[in-house]
Structure 1
Amino acid sequence: MTRRRRLLALAAVVGMLALSGCLGLLTGGSVPDQRLDAEPPDGAYAWNESVDDDLNAHITVRDDATFSAVYAVDGDEIRLFRRDGLGGTNPLGVRAVRYRYPNGTVINGTQLRERGDVDQTRDEVVIELPGEGDVEGDRIAFSADSTPKRFALPAYVNGSYELVLPQNRRTSLPVFGDITPAPASTSIDDRGRQHIRWDEVDTDSVIVQFYLPQDVQIFGGVFAVFVVIAVGGLLYYRRQIDALRERREEMGLDVDVDDDDIGDDGPPPGMR
């Protein structure tokens, strides 16, 4: 009877986890329709930039720590994930998924799931394309969350990339900015956005650390204040030492004793 009660209790716990959605964290699950069909940022994706420039990936980073990406997939599927730092992966939280046929027709995420597939496991999101993965025309696009002042994402496809930073962000100053892998070129458009271009990306990830110019100014101001405080503290310490030395001299405590004078009176009492 005890064993039966334990099995019933275990079944009840599993049922509660399934009802609460916690079990989905272990077994994966479907991406909700409202996420798939959400409106893309700015109302549309950069299809033309990707197709006209013959790019394999075009990524736009926004100042609200989100990004939009358009990929030309060389194959019939794309697997979207983020590395967790422990050797594993987690599914990328995609939303506003769109697919563009080579003839320019665009369908939303739920239509894509009907004609291809959009499946989420505990490790990744797998999108199966309804077309043939023709890099000359069809594209897959989605949006997801990024990180303030740092963009890092696995390179889902090889080939040419372009990444556009938010307005007035820069990467040129060491420590504050960095680009991995090294780009083929960078440029600033008339809106003050930095464009980073790679002719060929064959690394595991694309990582860009960027900053606002005022961030450097703020850091410089804080560093200057720190230096002033440090120098002031050092001068104060030296003055205190000098004042202490003067007081000791006035009290006759600083009397030099020559080594030759030591031992002239013979050994201490009791040892003669």
Structure 2
Amino acid sequence: MNRRHLLALVSLALLSLTAGCFGPGAISSEQLDQEPAEPYEWDTTRDVHIAIQTDSSFRGVYNVSERDSIELFRRDGFGGRNPLNVRAVRYRYPNGTVLTGSELEARGGGIDRTREVVTVTFPNGTTEGGQLAFTAGATPKRFSLPVFVEGSYEVVLPPDRRVDLPVFGTVSPRGSTAETIDGQTHIRWEEVTSRGVTVQYYLQRDIPIFGAIAAVSLIIGFGGAFYYKRQIEELRELREEMGLDVEVEEKDDGPPPGMG
């Protein structure tokens, strides 16, 4: 087998693997039907309820009324989209009946993954008052997700996390309110129509560490400034000793002869 044939076989194998990983039906029933870490907040009064977990994942509940499907994805740094790695998928009918991911597919819905998005199609088309819930991964101390559903939002941080300290805590879009309930910060928006929601937060116990880092930075900064100033003074003294900074006054002998 020559090199050209070998490369062709390798390329074909890679394409097959890629199709298996990202193609339709690639999410297993075990992944779709697994139990969430904690019960989903079905009784939320918000259109979207996000609960961030301590393991850097989150549980999301979305009001999908008047929709027959929804696309779930993350944006990459190049303007593209990547499918959200969802698990523990649940669909809740207005009467309270909850379906697992595989039951949703068995009743005429669908959960399909491509190279860009995960598309969830709901049973029986558009359903008045239906809710979709799922669990997915998140970055530690920073939650960021596109807005799949516009409307009112609530993001609940893990215990002892805060957003009050500038620089270390930021919330986007603007117009949110924050309230601490039983040691957890609840961030709410009455209406979100922006492209995405981002919350950067910190642990309360990190505050002394931030203060120590700031103090050390100030000490180093003042020390560097003092050293720099001392070096300049020593250089000036050295130039004066060498006579490099001595000003020589020119003797004025008057105008040239005949011009006085």
TM-score class, shorter-chain normalisation, is 0.7 to 0.9
- Residue 189 of structure 2 aligns with an amino acid whose one-letter code is W
1:119 matches 2:137: no
Equivalent pair of 2:49/2:60 in contact (CA under 8 Å): yes
Q: Residue 198 of structure 1: which of 176, 189, 192 is its match?
A: 189
1:260 matches 2:250: yes
1:12 corresponds to: 9
2:18 corresponds to: 22
2:205 corresponds to: 214
| Structure 1 residues 146-174: Cα deviation after superposition (integer angstroms, max 9, x where no partner) | 11111111111111111111112122222
Question: How many Å apart are 1:239 and its aligned residue?
Answer: 4.2
1:46 matches 2:45: no
Equivalent pair of 2:89/2:101 in contact (CA under 8 Å): yes
Q: 1:209 to 1:131 in 2, by over 3 A?
A: farther
Q: 1:133 to 1:180 in 2, by over 3 A?
A: farther
Q: 1:123 to 1:262 in 2, by over 3 A?
A: farther
- The structure richer in helix per residue is 1
C-alpha distance in 2, partners of 1:165/1:60? Answer: 6
| Unaligned stretches of 5+ residues in structure 2 | 255-260
Query: 3-state DSSP class of the match of 2:190?
Result: strand
Matches within 5 A, 1:71-150: 71-74=62-65, 75-115=67-107, 116-136=109-129, 138-150=130-142
Q: 1:256 to 1:168 in 2, by over 3 A?
A: same
Query: 3-state DSSP class of the match of 1:22?
Result: helix
- Residue 77 of structure 1 aligns with an amino acid whose one-letter code is S
* TM-score of the superposed pair, with normalisation by structure 1: 0.80
Equivalent pair of 1:101/1:131 in contact (CA under 8 Å): no
Question: How many Å apart are 1:92 and its aligned residue?
Answer: 0.3
- Residue 12 of structure 1 aligns with an amino acid whose one-letter code is L
Query: 3-state DSSP class of the match of 1:260?
Result: coil
C-alpha distance in 1, partners of 2:31/2:252? Answer: 90
2:225 corresponds to: 234
- Residue 40 of structure 1 aligns with an amino acid whose one-letter code is P
Equivalent pair of 2:239/2:245 in contact (CA under 8 Å): no
Query: 3-state DSSP class of the match of 1:200?
Result: strand
Q: CA RMSD in A?
A: 2.9
| Unaligned stretches of 5+ residues in structure 1 | 265-272
- Residue 40 of structure 2 aligns with an amino acid whose one-letter code is Y
Equivalent pair of 1:56/1:135 in contact (CA under 8 Å): no
User: How many pairs were matched up?
Assistant: 251
2:258 corresponds to: none
- Residue 34 of structure 2 aligns with an amino acid whose one-letter code is A
